[in-house]
Each structure stands twice: as C-alpha cells, then as structure tokens.
Amino acid sequence: MVHLHLSARLSIALVSLVGLASFLWPLLVTPGSGLDDAATAPLILAALLPLFVVVVLAEIARGGFDVKAIAMLGVLSAVGAVLRPLGAGTAGLETVFFLIILAGRVYGPGFGFVLGSTTLLGSALLTGGVGPWLPFQMMAAAWVGLGAGLLPRLRGRAEIGMLVAYGIVAALAYGLLMNFSFWPFAVGLETQLSYEAGAPVVENLQRFVLFTLVTSLGWDIGRAVTNSLAILLVGPAVLSALRRIARRAAFDRAPTPADSA
C-alpha cells in the first residue's frame, strides 16, 4: 500500500468536499442565492482541476509517492486510458473501472484516488473528450478508486465477492453522480423530469430519480455488469500481479521524515 502523509489526506478531503458540492448544488441552492444560474456551476468546476493538481503535487512532494509509485501510477493510468475507449459509448459498457478498483484495493485509497482522476484525464486527452464534463468524470472516478482502497481486509473468494459487490455499487453511483452533473441543463423547463430551482429537496430528488430511470439506468446497469464480470474473471490474476509488484517495490514501507527532507 502507498502510504500518505496527513497533508495529502487533508488535500483529498478538501477536494472531495468541493467535488461533492459541485455535484449536489442543485439540491442545495435557494431562489435568489445566485447559484441557481446555469453560469455558476462551470465556475465551480473550473476550480476542480487545479485542486486535483494540488493533491497530486502534495502527495509527491511530501514523499507519499516515491519514484516507483509514480512509475506505477503512470503505467496504470496509461493502461486505463487505452482500455476506456474500447467500451465507452457501447450500451453502457465500461472497461476501465475494474482496473481502478483493483489498483485502489492493492495500493490504497490515496493511490486509487489519484489513479481514477489521471486515468479519466488521460483517456479524455487520448480521445479528444476534453470538455466541461471532464472534471466531473475525474472526480467521480477518483472516488471509485478511493472507496476501493477503504474496503475491509479480506482474502480469497471473500475478497473477490466483496470487490464484485463494490464494483456494482460504484458503477451505479458513478452513473448517478454524472447525471447530477448535467441534469439541470439536460431537459427543458416545466416537465416532470426538469430541475426546478428552489423546489423542496424531496421534490427535486423525485424528478432526478425519474430522469435517471428514463435516461440512463440501462447504461448504468451495463457498466455494473461489465465491472462485476471483469473483477470476477480477471480480478484474482490482476490482484496477484499488483501485489507481487508492490512487494518487490516495497510500497508497504511507510514514508519517513527523511523521505521528504
């Protein structure tokens, strides 16, 4: 596991709080607050990418990521960036999240967080998919890797079963988060699916659930199936390979003050 210093953990927590607010702002605004304007959300998002950079630099500068960890991050990010176009856009199939989950499981929540964001960034640069949706995708994928690193310690079939279940939950949660990112602007006004600024939270949640059922549930299920099958079929071999690399690279050694001097 790649261990992190306290400053890096706090940076991840800060970025996560900003990211959560960026996703859930439709449920938090009130009429006349200034945040119910469609031009406000992109401004919030513009702050996310610099925060991602701060997180990565903090982890590297403080010694949480040594040269070997950075090399592994680069390799896995490149592999994930290549894997994603193989399935993205085809009936909801996603061929990248299982790798983020497995790597986060082996190398820890901090590594999984950074890997999720860099993988989606690399994929966007590779396929020309850079746009206002990218910070949302990076944040959601980062949480997928973070959560995998926080799962309980299990081994054998119990671990694979847990990772399969987590892969399903993470796939559905990713879809819900991405829906939140564009739902207020996706449909016109005065429909049963439309976001209504300032409406009670319960009412807007009902509209959001209906929007999700109508527009994306099938894609989210496809992503969940892809995740679970990939983890079930190749998960044991990938976990074994990643752990073997971790042992040889001595990732399990916690950083010392001398490392960051």
Does this model's pTM top 0.75? My answer is yes
**CATH 1.10.1760.20 for the 6-260 domain, yes or no:** yes
**What integer pLDDT is reported at residue 47 of this predicted model?**
65
Higher model confidence: residue 9 or residue 197? 9
* Number of continuous H segments (helices) and E segments (strands) in the chain: 10, 0
- Is residue 187's pLDDT more than 60? yes
Break the chain into its structural domains and give their ranges: 6-260
Which amino acid does the sequence have at 157?
Answer: R
Contact 76, 119 (CB under 8 A): yes
Condensed to tens digits (0 to 9), the pLDDT of residues 20-59 reads: 888 888 887 765 555 555 555 556 655 666 676 677 666 6
Condensed to tens digits (0 to 9), the pLDDT of residues 144-173 reads: 999 999 999 998 999 999 999 999 999 999
Give 252's DSSP letter: T
Structure tokens that stand for 93 in this block: 């199939």
- Is residue 189's pLDDT more than 50? yes
CA distances from 154 to 1, 138, 160, 161, 245 (A): 15, 28, 9, 10, 19
Contacts of 122 (CB under 8 A, 6+ apart): 77, 78, 80, 81
- Is residue 190's pLDDT more than 80? no
Share of the chain above pLDDT 70, in %: 80
